[in-house]
Homo-oligomer: A and B are copies of this chain.
């Protein structure tokens, strides 16, 4: 084989897991606290609507469209932002639909950064930011967050960390892997800091609808329309990750660039996915409201509460911060890790007990001695079973 341009491209452990699980014959024996994929189906109304469209208009429902996405869907998202977050955007010029949140982030990064620029990330944070940013040769400034402080961002520390190469700050709230919901004053503080330091603010709002307590603040409530870029997706909110639909919104000139780049990378967003979202958001978000309030949030809240209890019952030495949103616990497990590090623990736990957790180190320097547990994948009885197996594992290994 001849040489290729790229070398040393790491693949995330969640991606490897995904490949492994897809080939696994005895999936039911595995208890997965691993990948953060919704375990609920999308709203029935949404899939029914799509199938009706396939019957009535099979050609239109399968056809190409504009790179920015269907005008109707962009309008519905703009209405949603107005209604739920008090944010005003122009659906014609300030939004572009994408292949999930991943493409939204990738294109936003590619648009904003030159190689050598730096971005500020809270640490720990979403593991897939790292390879994306490394691939684009964007440096990372880490601002540590601690379980003892419920992983809130320290504004003074953030302020001090910013050097001249920093071009943007990224906020993810609710957060993956910690479930931390940023407090109002902190969001406001970051908006002001970005204004003050002439930085871009990138907000990743993918978990904004996955909220068990507290309130989500869109950063634009505090200003910064000219320097804020938001990436989001329907993968979690509507439980449709396999449909690959996300969006990015921000200043019109920025979105023009995003649209051009999207046209080179993937031409246009999925039409069936857009039709699903049309149904999900129409009539003032009737389907969305009902689905989230009656099904999604109650289901996951019960699992979160169950997992909280299970930590107390089976892993009492884990130091936890109970998540207000998203799908994850990110306990400091150091008291169990005297004999083995978190990667060895995770691998051996899977081998011996068929329980999947993700080693904390993949989420940043501060992830050492932590594990990420998702409560999204398994019902309460299996959460109990998984923690019971972990407890056995700890006893058997005298940890």
Contacts and interface: CB of A to CB of B under 8 A. Distances in A.
Contact of A242 (B38, B239, B270): B270
A239 B71 CA distance: 23
Contact of A64 (B4, B37, B62, B200): B37
Counting every copy of the chain, the complex holds 2
Interface in A18-42: 18-19, 22-23, 35, 37-42
Contacts of A50: 51, 54
Contact of A62 (B42, B58, B59, B261): B42
A325 interface: no
Contacts of A23: 71
B106 A66 contact: no
B70 A110 contact: no
Contacts of A47: 54, 58, 62
Contacts of A59: 39-41, 239
The range of chain A's interface size is: 35 or more
A323 interface: no
A22 B271 CA distance: 13
Given A18-B67, A266-B103, A261 B12 contact: no
Interface stretch (A154-162, A252-260, A279-287, A291-299): A252-260
Given A5-B117, A62-B239, 19 more contacts: A1-B227, A1-B251, A2-B200, A2-B226, A4-B253, A6-B257, A9-B256, A9-B261, A18-B66, A35-B64, A44-B58, A47-B58, A59-B239, A64-B242, A99-B99, A106-B265, A135-B264, A243-B271, A266-B266
7 contacts: A9-B257, A9-B261, A15-B268, A22-B71, A23-B71, A131-B263, A272-B273
